[in-house]
Amino acid sequence: MKILVCISHVPDTTTKIKFVNDKLDTNGVQFIIGPYDDYALSKAVDLKSEKNATVTVLNVGKPETEPTLRKALAIGADEAIRIDADPIDAYFVAVQIAEFAKQNQYDLILMGRESVDFNGGLVHGFVGEMLGIPSLSPCMSLEFVGERTVRATREIEGGKETLELELPFVAGCQEPIAEWKIPNMRGIMTAKNKPLKVISAISVENVLVHRNFSLVPERSACKMISVEELAELIKKF
Amino acid sequence: MSSTLSKRPIKGGEFLIRSTEAHEIFIKEDFSEEQRMMASACKDFIRTEIEPHIERMERLEEGFSKKLLQKAGELGLLGISIPEEYGGLGMSFNTSMLIADVMGATGSFSTTYGAHTGIGILPIYYYGTEEQKKKYLPKLISGEWAASYCLTEPEAGSDANAGKTKATLTPDGKYYLLNGQKMWITNAGFADLFIVFAKIDQDKNLSAFIVEKSFGGITMNEEEKKMGIKGSSTRQVFFNDCKVPVENMLSTRENGFKIAVNILNVGRIKLGAGVIGANIMVMNYAIQYANQRKQFGKTIGSFGAIKHKLAQMAVCNYAIESAAYRAGQDIEDKIADLEKNGLDPIQAKLKGTEQFAIECAIVKVLGSEMLDYIVDEGVQIYGGMGFSAEAPMERAYRDARIARIYEGTNEINRMLMVDMLIKRAMKGELDLMSPAMAVAQELTSVPTFETLDTSVLFAEEKDLLKRLKKAFLMIGGKAVQSLMMQLAEEQEIIMNLADIMIQIYALESMMLRTEKLVAMRGEHACQAQIGMVKIWADGAVSKIEHAGREAITAFTAGEEQKVMLMGLKRFTKYNPVNTIKIRRQIADMLLEKNEYPF
Ligand SMILES: Cc1cc2nc3c(=O)[nH]c(=O)nc-3n(C[C@H](O)[C@H](O)[C@H](O)COP(=O)(O)OP(=O)(O)OC[C@H]3O[C@@H](n4cnc5c(N)ncnc54)[C@H](O)[C@@H]3O)c2cc1C
């Protein structure tokens, strides 16, 4: 079984974010595998032993994302692919992934439900559509019930939905699909001997135009009142 | 590593009589992506396996620490620099220092980990026979077994060789029977293996044994009630006719003290690395608190008094980081050099570490004292919350205190560094005499003042460093000359000399690290680091001036005293720097980053 795991390269969630000239100041910022992507990767690594799967990890990014890919190799992915581009938006990333996946025929494509930088949560849906296969998100569990049949649960408004579907499909993952894995030291040492291939991006038409940005309106001051006052105020209201 | 290619070999203690170039030292910023990834995985381990369960650890919940050791073993954290054939990773010495650094943030577990991987495992690795290594190391490195080290006894603490535990051969010549009492034994509560030091028959010196718990005849007292590191097991251990097969003796008869001393060298420098993780944890809490807590309508981080503390904490940690990793690499390079010259790898490791015993002691003392400063100010920045057992500072404060006591008290380490230096000079291994004599001459000649090109980075500090070394040589040389054998009895003077050595080593290490960083990143990007060096230099000058004056006054008189005090003044001259301004700049940077960023 061949699994593709798509990971984002994002600032550590505890980083103090600063902007210089409207761009993220990456100086001193620690980058990590997107936490949701980490769940996807952990699930894939579990399936390696369970289903004898091979795991390819992919990122669309510039060379500075390679340490993040190597960390994924240390955690247990077998090979890494970097599609060399500075991603513009979710559509751009999805086109690159879909193009790569088409050529390599994966049984399962896993990624996080969203990246934690822009939190778009769109790529899995786009990729499924582009490949003409189902996609679901946020996927909270994923068990094989047959050779190619999977039972998955996804979070829906106010509850959980259990689905049964056939490979191949795309899933945007979140906890508790698998337990996060800490790379072990030996994994880290072998990571440098695993293949990390760089391939060029294909050109993508720009489908998204940003008209303007605005900040969230500042929250107005909040005044604490006593219960007695509350009754008064309601009456007045 | 390219950075150390053109390094000139240096001997332990030699830093006092020669200069070093920036490219010759290893700095924390030199760690590779792979080493950083290891450190980061270790942080993940702490975040997921330790932090959420601190309470359980601190209560000494049955089996908890042992389980943690096992998990650390699964991740490969227990044998970083032990060869792969024994289950280790075969990584460099400084990699194991880096992991010790990160582990330092775990308080109690850092001691559990240090005892297991250091004084527990290393005696077997360094002194064991091939059979002993094959039999025990894989079990210990995987975490299946936990190790402890039994040297200290009720009557034998600092004076470790005074131990009374006895080993007597059984009539069939197959076993040693161990009898005696050990005290303050880390990991005792759950250890499967004990490295035990005992005297055979009427021997004067200790021998060492590998003792399995299952040999029997081992009993224990309850857990000690301690001030800090409450989550690390510490017990008295009693040996009552504990039957140890003769093949479990480590090394040769009466070689135990030597083993203890050599293992402690590694323990000391690792402890120095271990404080770094604790420092950073405490600083990050303090910085974040200073950014949040408001009084008088402002965050407390905006107050100069708090800025002073934050900046000084950073300076202290920068000092120990610079010293520890520099010394670590010096050891590693020496080992490589000895191996290249045909020494077997184990001998090379022992000799290489021993060569830098002075630096190991310096790093231990400096590290533990920097940690104490940092936790103390950490509590202060937290105010009342610093005193609350619900907030993290209180535990950090208590946990820190042990570092000045174990692995040789700081007094013993101070004596050791001076003693060792003098011995090396006597043996002719280090030529301290000629430079000391040159300094003595300089005292009575007309001073020449070089004009410094102050546009060069650290021109003044380099000049100062040279003179501080002269101050040391002047006082040390004179003390040896006039007190001779009696110097050993004049401990106060020895403490003064040790303090001067420590200040010099720290200043030089910080300065060289910063110079190397400037070469990598440019001066503009290293303003804070440059500032930290100047602050240390300013402090070192007054500390050395004070220690020097005290020493000189104690053993000289009349004209000679006057000349030396004048010399001291000259040697400790440093143009005033506006340390208040520099500290504010450093503090502002810490507050902006909301963490220790170096
Ligand atoms: C929590 C904890 C864990 C420990 N873990 C271990 C362990 O795993 N294995 C082990 O073997 N030991 C362990 N120890 C023991 C530790 O190494 C000793 O406590 C330490 O070496 C000091 O010995 P002591 O307590 O007998 O103090 P003492 O030697 O009695 O020292 C008391 C004071 O006198 C000073 N002093 C002693 N001799 C001199 C001298 N010649 N000149 C000047 N001053 C002197 C000391 O510096 C100190 O300030 C541990 C101790 C503690 C508290």
Looking at residue B2, its pLDDT comes to 44
Does B405 sit in the ligand 1 pocket, CB within 6 Å?
Answer: yes
Helix B491-521 vs helix B459-483: crossing angle, to nearest 10: 160
Cβ neighbour number for residue A232 with a 10 Å cutoff? 11
Measure in Å the smallest separation between the Cα of B463 and chain A Cα atoms: 33
CB contact under 8 A, B37 and A70: yes
Report the pLDDT averaged over residues B218-244. Answer: 98
Average pLDDT over residues B188-199: 98
- Contact (CB, 8 A) for B544 and B468: yes
Ligand 1 mean position to B157 CA, how many Å?
5
Contacts of A129 (CB under 8 A, 6+ apart): A135
When the pLDDT of each residue in chain A is averaged and rounded to a whole number, the result is 93
With contact defined as beta carbons under 8 Å apart, do B476 and B432 qualify? Answer: yes
Q: Is B206 exposed, middle or buried (0-12, 13-18, 19+ CB in 10 A)?
A: buried
Average pLDDT, chain B: 96
Q: Could you give phi then psi for residue B240, rounded to 5 degrees?
A: -125, 100
Can you tell me the mean pLDDT for A192-198? Answer: 97
CATH code assigned at A115: 3.40.50.620
Q: Count CA atoms closer than 13 A to B364's CA, side-chain side.
A: 31
Nearest to A111, CA basis, from A66, A53, A59: A59
- In this model, does residue B3 exceed pLDDT 70? no
Average pLDDT over residues B62-67: 96
Does the C-beta of B149 come closer than 6 Å to ligand 1? Answer: yes
Does the pLDDT of residue A97 top 90, yes or no?
Answer: yes
CA distances (Å), B143 to each of A199, B40, B79, B147, B529, in order? 42, 20, 10, 9, 40
Structure confidence by residue, pLDDT tens digits, B253-263: 999 999 999 99
pLDDT over 90 at A16, yes or no: no
Cis amide leading into B52 (omega within 30): no
A169: in domain: yes
User: Is residue A229 one of the residues assigned to a domain?
Assistant: no
Contact call for A183 and B37, based on CB within 8 A: yes
Whether B186 lines ligand 1, by a CB cut-off of 6 Å, is: yes
Mean pLDDT (whole number) for B578-594: 97
pLDDT of amino acid A211:
86
- Please give the average per-residue pLDDT across A210-232, as a whole number: 82
Q: What is the DSSP string of B382-426?
A: HGGGGG-TTSHHHHHHHHHGGGGTSSS-HHHHHHHHHHHHHHHHH
CB atoms within 10 A of CB B398: 17
pLDDT for B4 beyond 60? no
Q: Determine what percent of chain B is predicted with pLDDT higher than 90.
A: 96
d(CA A88, CA A100): 18
DSSP string for residues in B288-302: HHHHH-EETTEEGGG
**CB–CB of B169/B244 below 8 Å?**
no
Give start-end residues of each CATH 1.20.140.10 domain in chain B. Answer: 425-593
Which whole number is the average pLDDT over B266-293? 97
Q: Is residue A218 part of a domain?
A: no
Core vs surface per residue B62-96: b (16+ CB within 10 A) or e:
eebbbbbbbbbbebbbbbbbbbeebbbbebbbbbb
Average pLDDT of the segment spanning B110-119: 97
Half-sphere exposure of B431 (CA within 13 A, CB side): 5
Helices (H) and strands (E) in chain A, counts: 6, 13
Output the furthest CA–CA distance in chain A (Å, rounded).
73
Say how far apart CA B116 and CA B44 lie, in whole Å. Answer: 21
Domain with CATH 2.40.110.10 in chain B: 148-250
Query: Between the CA of residue A138 and those of A36, A122, A148, B480, what are the distances in Å?
Result: 10, 11, 21, 75
- Is B9 buried (19+), middle (13-18) or exposed (0-12) by CB count in 10 A? exposed
Instruction: Give the active site residue among B359, B377, B407, B508.
Output: B407
Query: Among B182-186, B441-445, B574-578, which stretch is predicted with the lowest mean pLDDT?
Result: B441-445
A8-11, long-range: CB < 8 A, 24+ apart: A8/A33, A8/A34, A8/A37, A8/A59, A8/A112, A8/A115, A8/A116, A8/A117, A9/A33, A9/A34, A9/A59, A9/A61, A9/A64, A9/A65, A9/A68, A10/A34, A10/A115, A10/A116, A10/A117, A11/A117
| Residue-level pLDDT at A30 | 87
For testing contact with chain B, the best of A70, A185, A190 (most B CBs within 10 A): A185
What pLDDT does residue B372 have?
A: 98
3-state SS class at B340: helix
Architecture per CATH, domain B148-250, reads as Beta Barrel (2.40)
Beta strand B207-212 with B175-186: parallel, antiparallel or unpaired?
Answer: unpaired
Yes or no, beta carbons of B593 and A70 under 8 Å apart: no
Q: Using a 6 Å cutoff on CB, does residue B409 contact ligand 1?
A: yes
Per-residue pLDDT at B345: 93
What distance in Å separates residue B293's CA from the closest CA in chain A?
17
B492 is catalytic: no
Q: What is the pLDDT of residue B565?
A: 97
Strand B166-169 vs strand B193-200: parallel, antiparallel, or unpaired? parallel
Q: Which comes out higher in pLDDT, residue A222 or B11?
A: B11
pLDDT at B349 over 90: yes
Residue B447: what pLDDT?
Answer: 73
Contact residues on chain B for A192, CB-CB shorter than 8 A: 34
Question: In this complex, is the C-beta atom of A192 within 8 Å of any C-beta atom belonging to chain B?
Answer: yes
For residue A119, give its domain range: 2-205
pLDDT at residue B485 is higher than 50:
yes
Q: Other CB atoms closer than 10 Å to residue B483's CB: what's the count?
A: 15
Which residue does chain B place closest to A17, by CA atoms? B593
Q: Is residue A45 part of a domain?
A: yes
Q: Do B20 and B504 form a contact (C-beta atoms < 8 A)?
A: no
Q: Of the ranges A167-176, B43-52, B303-312, B450-459, which one carries the lowest mean pLDDT score?
A: B450-459
Assigned superfamily of B425-593:
Butyryl-CoA Dehydrogenase, subunit A, domain 3 (1.20.140.10)
DSSP conformation class of B156: B
| CA-atom Rg of chain A in angstroms | 21
Residues 6+ apart with CB under 8 A from B58: B108, B230, B231, B395
Which residues of B touch chain A, with CB atoms under 8 Å apart?
33-34, 37-38, 40-41, 44-45, 48, 74-77, 80, 89, 91, 592-595, 597
How many CA atoms lie less than 13 Å away from B249 in the CB half-sphere? 21
User: Which chain A residues are Cβ-neighbours of B594 within 8 angstroms?
Assistant: 16
Establish whether residue B231 lines the binding site of ligand 1, counting it when its CB lies within 6 angstroms of any ligand atom.
no
Separation CA A162–CA A151 (nearest Å): 7
Question: Exposed/middle/buried for A212, CB within 10 Å: 0-12, 13-18, 19+?
Answer: exposed
Distance B408 CA to ligand 1 centre (A): 6
Question: b/e per residue, B166-182, with b = 16+ CB within 10 A?
Answer: bbeeeeeeebbbbbbbb
SS3 state at B174: coil
Cα dihedral value B127, B130, B135, B141, nearest 10: 60
- Rounded mean pLDDT of B74-92? 96
Residue with the nearest Cα to atom 11 of ligand 1?
A: B151
Q: Is A185 on the interface with B (CB under 8 A)?
A: yes
> Which amino acid is residue A12, in one-letter code?
D
B412 Cβ below 6 A of ligand 1 = yes
User: Distances from the Cα of B226 to the Cαs of B108, B235, B236, in angstroms?
Assistant: 11, 11, 13
Q: Which of B356, B447, B368, B374 is nearest to B403 (CA)?
A: B368
Q: Which residues contact A227 (CB under 8 A, 6 or more apart)?
A: none
Chain B: closest CA distance from residue A79 (Å): 17
Chain B residues with CB under 8 Å of A188 CB are: 34, 37-38, 41
Q: Report if residue A215 sits inside a domain.
A: no
Q: What confidence category does residue A220 fall into, taking pLDDT thresholds of 50, 70 and 90?
A: confident
Number of structural domains found in chain A: 1
Searching chain B, which residue's CA lies closest to the CA of residue A184? B75
The pLDDT value given to residue B5: 54
Helix-helix angle A66-75:A35-51, to 10 degrees: 40
Contact B242, B211 (CB under 8 A): yes
Contact between B281 and B287 under an 8 Å Cβ cutoff? The reply is: no
State in Å: Cα B184 to ligand 1 middle: 9
Interchain CB contact of A189 with B (< 8 Å) = yes
Confidence of residue A226 (pLDDT cuts 50, 70, 90): confident
Separation of CA B160 and ligand 1 centre (Å):
9
What pLDDT is recorded for position B586? 98
CA distance B28 to chain A (A): 15
State how beta strands B294-295 and B298-299 pair.
Answer: antiparallel
Distance from CA of A172 to the nearest CA of B (A): 24
Q: Pick from B30, B520, B593, B35: which is nearest to A67 by CA?
A: B35
Give me the pLDDT at residue B377, please.
98
Q: Is the pTM of this model over 0.90?
A: yes
Q: Do B89 and A189 touch (CB under 8 A)?
A: yes
- φ and ψ at residue A215, rounded to 5 degrees: -75, 155
Distance CA B43, CA B111 (A): 16
